[in-house]
Amino acid sequence: MKLAQEEAQGSINFKAVVKSEKVSDNIISQIRDSILSGQLKPGDRLASEKELISQFGVSKATMREALRVLEVMGLIEIRKGIRGGAFVAEVDMRTTINSIINFLHFKPVSIKEITMLRYLIEPTVARIAATKITGKDIQYLRQVMREHIGEGDSEVSKEISFHRYLARMAENTVLVLTIDFIDNLLRSIKANLKLGPDFYEQVRLAHENILESLIQRDPDAAQIAMSNDLLDVGDYLSNLTNTPAFEPPDNGPITMAHPKNLHFGSKARIVSEGSPILEIEGVIKKRVGASHLYIAEVEEDSDPQKV
């Protein structure tokens, strides 16, 4: 009786495949659309293989090929046995992320592209985290920091754990999925590189700065600290792979106490610290020694504005 009820859950009448189309693609599209639209829900059993073959008007081999693809996509689960069949799968974040990453293996993503995506998202995540952080969150992040010694795959995991935890503090499922996706891309890149102790020490110090900003519940400081971290990591990986680095379009207001090594070629608003305070836009051209002093190129007709 229960088996009959399960079969009824998948009683959707699919359209016969138009022969001019690629047959398996048409089957996949119809079943996928039924799942994504909510007509078929997680746990629902599709019609039997014989019934599906009849509805679509295709061969057994074609039907099985389409079902295998849907299973790889994480949309259905094929179960064996007397109560077996094709069932709509529960949404699984890991399967979703892995599917996207597998696709990107055929269209590689550059470190520059990943850094740009991080720059657009993660500083805002840090701002949100600074307004939501609790004592329990601080305790967990401190534990991650205490374990952050040495190097190797475990080090990569701890670094990623830090960023993923901040995303979860924002309580946004789409954001969590996005950060998990980004971190999996980074993990894949780092797995093929020899990252030395200097890299992990740089990351450790950056995470300490982020954590301190969060403890102080200072959104502005948390945003800056996160920006510094991801830009430094992007620069390090780009240098190591001899590939172009991401250059942020605007470094924000630059003063003598600017906390970041500026990216050459990027625009910045240079603010004087004298009296009167002046502000002018320029393009960063050169750093003076190891200081926070920079030479910037400005338009000939641009006059400093009093602030």
Does 277 lie in the same domain as 141?
A: no
Residue 298 CA to residue 288 CA, distance in Å, equals 17
Q: What does the pLDDT read at residue 241?
A: 92
Q: Which residues constitute the domain of residue 150?
A: 97-246
Mean of the pLDDT values across residues 187-214?
88
Closest to 283 measured CA to CA, from 261, 272, 259, 299: 299
For the range 271-279, what are the long-range contacts, defined as Cβ-Cβ under 8 Å and sequence gap of 24 or more? Answer: 271/307, 272/304, 276/306, 276/307, 277/306, 277/307, 278/304, 278/305, 278/306, 278/307, 279/253, 279/304, 279/305, 279/306, 279/307
Does 173 lie in the same domain as 109?
A: yes
pLDDT tens per residue, range 107-137: 778 999 999 999 999 999 999 999 999 999 9
Does 159 lie in the same domain as 112?
A: yes
Q: What is the value of pTM for the model shown? A: 0.58
Domain edge (last residue) among 223, 246, 269: 246
Does 206 lie in the same domain as 105?
A: yes
Does 280 lie in the same domain as 229?
A: no
pLDDT tens per residue, range 142-200: 888 877 544 444 444 455 578 989 999 998 888 888 888 888 788 878 888 888 888 88
Q: What does the pLDDT read at residue 6?
A: 45
pLDDT at 5 over 70: no
Does 188 lie in the same domain as 117?
A: yes
**How many domains, in total, are found in the chain?**
3
- Residue-by-residue DSSP string for 238-256: HHHHT-PPP--SEEEEE-T
Q: What does the pLDDT read at residue 269?
A: 65
As a dihedral over the C-alpha atoms of residue 259, residue 265, residue 267, residue 272, rounded to 10 degrees, the angle is 60
Domain edge (last residue) among 91, 122, 139: 91
Does 186 lie in the same domain as 77?
A: no
239 against 73, higher pLDDT: 239
